Amino acid sequence: MRDEAKEGNMSHVDDGALHAYLDGELSPVERAQIEAHVAECAACRTRLDEERVLIQRASQLLGFAQPPPPPRERAAPPPLHQLRHPRLAWRLRMPLTWAASVVLALAVGYYVGGSGYRLAPEDGAGAAPGTVVGIAAPEPVSPGLNDRSATEQARTQPPAAPAAPAEPQAVRAREENAKAAAELSAAVVTVDGDLVSARDRLDVRDWPVIGRDPARQLLGTDPVGVPGLAVRETRRSPAGDSVVLVEQEIDPTTVIRLFQRRAEQVDVGRRVVIRGAPSAARAAAPDARGTERLARFVGSLRVEIAGPLTPDSLNKLLEQLKPIP
Amino acid sequence: MPEDLADVYRSTYRALVRFLYRKVWDAERAEDLAQEAFARALVHKPEKARGWLFVVAANMARDEARRAARERRHLTLLKSEPDAVHSAPEDEIDADAQRQRVRLALEQLTPRDREALLLWDAGMSYDEIAGQTGLARGAIGTTLARARRRLVDAYEGRSEGGQHVAR
């Protein structure tokens, strides 16, 4: 550093001050000092011009180092809500197996029937968002991240995907069980191979809001949530099945739902995988109820997450669950 | 959220991609990382989202060790190439070659100078750059002056003393 502008008009202005001046980062007083000096000092006037050219040139060069034009599908930055939807999911290049597992899982089962997790009858109006794929495989529900719909798997999963093909009998059992589950929940289902589809008509707005203590009583432990996210409501299932719902806000318009219950109460014979609406539909109606879902065990709880996010975004949140006292 | 992330996203996303691109030199990866940074911001809800995003992004870019190694090999190849590109008129140099030249020039800056320059170009203020780099605010102008000069000199093939190094 040569001289400071503050030192007076007899001292030359140093490069840093000139750049700060040209960058508009000086206080009014400092600016005035430099301008006063430059008005009287031809050398600094020249240097000011030189530094201005230098800044412009550096900026121009950095402009050469722009990312190449994005391909058509990336031409515009995705809206934030879309960022949380599909494109983020696919473009977060997590380990591919993990990403494929999560994205293709398209959510995990929640339990109908015994769980009292009700699916309202289809009324035909606004039918869109979600598809319920019932898979009644009786194996215990693992964290669910390997669950996937067969069609999705066939479409995008590499052959080496870990999910084993279902036995024909198991498929039939799944159909029967899923149909039973859907009938129980009064949902309309269609059967296609081992996929049993129905509308997701879940409406938790009817679930009573409860306090933290009742939630703790129902669960036998503290409910869990994503640390740092505000809890909007805590609810319980109206079916008396000890399912607690914690709703948390990512932002005022984006709410994730954490359905949780004691793991030992799980009815493993029936579960429902709720497959999200197509991305286009989600983009058009980001708050649609057809949301992706994933589940995992957290301590003694089995927790399912749902929300208008991509599966791997939800999965990320799911991984962070901690008891919320 | 103290700072509306949606607003930050609209105003900063491209700058963050650009910032990341100049670190990882892969447009797609830069977008991935930028989106990853915003996804993390959605969860963490930082008080000062913009600065936080750049910190996270810079850290993620730093973690690209394997990729950086591959890039270094690529750079070595480029450096060993004849200087035909260098002597061609600028408007005849295709965008890729220009990018590579700028990249090589940026590589010649010190990490601190480069960081300050890239942050400034991404739209950060002196205060924000100071907060991010640990430099005193009063040193940012000097740092940027040095960084800009070195960038231009390196791009033009001049050493710090003003001599052309590649001719």
Residue A105 has pLDDT above 70, yes or no: no
Please indicate whether, in this complex, the C-beta atoms of A68 and B120 are within 8 angstroms of each other: no
Half-sphere exposure of A264 (CA within 13 A, CB side): 4
Q: Which two tokens stand for residue A292?
A: 């992706």
Identify which of A77-86, A250-259, B103-112 has the greatest average pLDDT. Answer: B103-112
Please indicate whether, in this complex, the C-beta atoms of B43 and A228 are within 8 angstroms of each other: yes
Please indicate whether, in this complex, the C-beta atoms of A65 and B21 are within 8 angstroms of each other: yes
Q: How far apart are CA A115 and CA A165, in angstroms?
A: 27
Residue B137 has pLDDT above 80, yes or no: yes
Residues from chain B that touch A64, judged by Cβ atoms under 8 A, are 95, 98-99, 101-102
pLDDT of residue A273: 38
Q: What number is the average pLDDT over the span B95-124?
A: 90
Residues from chain B that touch A83, judged by Cβ atoms under 8 A, are 9, 35, 38-39
Provide the pLDDT confidence category of residue A31 given band limits of 50, 70 and 90. very high
Give the gap in angstroms from C-alpha A65 to the nearest C-alpha of chain B.
5
Residues from chain A that touch B31, judged by Cβ atoms under 8 A, are 67, 70, 74, 91
pTM of the model: 0.45
Of A14, A77, A92, the CB nearest to B13: A77
Please indicate whether, in this complex, the C-beta atoms of B21 and A87 are within 8 angstroms of each other: no
Give the 3-state secondary structure of residue B66: helix
Q: What are phi and psi of A251, to 5 degrees?
A: -150, 175
Assembly ipTM? 0.76
Provide the pLDDT confidence category of residue A23 given band limits of 50, 70 and 90. very high
Q: What number is the average pLDDT over the span B113-136?
A: 92
Please indicate whether, in this complex, the C-beta atoms of B14 and A65 are within 8 angstroms of each other: no
What's the full length of chain B, in residues?
Answer: 167
Residue A294 has pLDDT above 60, yes or no: yes
Please indicate whether, in this complex, the C-beta atoms of B27 and A68 are within 8 angstroms of each other: yes
Residue B89 has pLDDT above 70, yes or no: no
Q: Which of A123, A127, A122 is nearest to A187 (CA)?
A: A122
Q: Which two tokens stand for residue B134?
A: 């640990």
End-to-end CA separation in angstroms for chain A: 55
| More confident position, B114 or A83 | B114
Q: How far apart are CA A129 and CA A184, in angstroms?
A: 21
Please indicate whether, in this complex, the C-beta atoms of B144 and A19 are within 8 angstroms of each other: yes
Helix boundaries (H) for B2-94: 5-24, 27-44, 49-62, 65-79, 84-87
Give the gap in angstroms from C-alpha B84 to the nearest C-alpha of chain A.
18
Per-residue pLDDT tens over the stretch A175-231: 554 444 443 333 333 333 333 333 333 567 777 888 888 888 888 888 999 888 888
pLDDT of residue B145: 96
Please indicate whether, in this complex, the C-beta atoms of A64 and B99 are within 8 angstroms of each other: yes
Residue of A nearest to B24 (CA): A67
Give the gap in angstroms from C-alpha A67 to the nearest C-alpha of chain B.
5
pLDDT of residue A138: 28
| More confident position, A313 or A131 | A313
Residue B70 has pLDDT above 70, yes or no: no
Whole-number Cα distances in Å, A132 to A109, A180, B12: 9, 13, 38
Residue of B nearest to A62 (CA): B102
Whole-number Cα distances in Å, A98 to A58, A121, A173, B33: 42, 35, 29, 17
Q: What is the mean pLDDT of chain B?
A: 80
Q: Which of A132, A109, A112 is nearest to A122 (CA)?
A: A132
Q: Which of B7, B23, B42, B117 has the highest number of chain A CBs within 10 A, making it the mutation to test binding with A?
A: B42
Please indicate whether, in this complex, the C-beta atoms of A23 and B31 are within 8 angstroms of each other: no
Please indicate whether, in this complex, the C-beta atoms of B152 and A78 are within 8 angstroms of each other: no
Q: How far apart are CA B55 and CA A79, in angstroms?
A: 22
Share of chain B above pLDDT 90, in %: 31
pLDDT of residue B6: 84
Q: What is the mean pLDDT of chain A?
A: 62
A260: amino acid identity, one letter: Q
Contact by Cβ (8 Å): A293, A304: yes
Q: What number is the average pLDDT over the span B90-100?
A: 71
The residues facing A305 across adjacent strands are A258, A294
Q: Which of A25, A251, A312 has the highest number of chain B CBs within 10 A, making it the mutation to test binding with B?
A: A25
Per-residue pLDDT tens over the stretch A56-80: 999 999 988 888 776 655 556 666 6
Buried b (16+ CB within 10 A) or exposed e, B135-153: beeebbbbbbbbbbbbbbb
Residue of B nearest to A309 (CA): B39
Please indicate whether, in this complex, the C-beta atoms of A84 and B106 are within 8 angstroms of each other: no
pLDDT of residue A217: 84
Q: How far apart are CA B13 and CA B63, in angstroms?
A: 20
Provide the pLDDT confidence category of residue B28 given band limits of 50, 70 and 90. confident
Residue A302 has pLDDT above 50, yes or no: yes
